[in-house]
Amino acid sequence: MVDVYVSAGSNIEPEQHLVRALEALESTYGPLRVSPAYRNKPVGFTGADFINLVVGFSTDQPVEAVRKRLQEIEASCGRPPDAPKWGPRKMDLDILLYGEEVRTQPGLMLPRPDLIRRAYMLKPMADLAPGLVHPTERRTMRELWESFPDSGHELAEIALRRSDPRRSPGSDR
């Protein structure tokens, strides 16, 4: 089994789509570990605020199968496969870490380079797994967050409620 961490974000009916995505992930991968959710301004375009979080789970699926499942969940939330990179979206699911795997191939870079560049990915990741060591930076998520430059990218923690009684402890955000 490998531990996988995925960022999830939406700025179109975000509460509804995030809950739907979490339920789909849980039905596929079992109990989830879910970070607090954060509201933040979009990066790269002007639009409605996003809500972002990070989810962790364990799987024996290869990374390509996980990626395919994430794309299916995005589609079930109404995201077209040709959605622009910088624009509003109903659901965006990105693999941040797939165990200790390091890949540099275009289309699936692991660990995801944005993890250490984007506050909306790094902060929830540091909340969820503060002692986890980044595979290439060789520093913990907490250390990476604590040294993150104050870029003026504000994050406001919000409560994201899930009604599923099967959720794991700490995943009620």
Of 71, 52, 73, the C-alpha closest to 122 is 52
- Residue 8 belongs to what H/E stretch? strand 2-10
Positions annotated as catalytic residues are 79, 89, 92, 94
Give first-to-last CA distance, the chain, whole Å. 25
Q: What is the Cα–Cα distance from 62 to 55, expressed in whole angstroms?
A: 18
Altogether, the residues listed in the chain come to a count of 173
Q: Which residue has the tokens 């962790």?
A: 56
- The whole-angstrom distance between residue 55's C-alpha and the CA centroid of its chain comes to 6
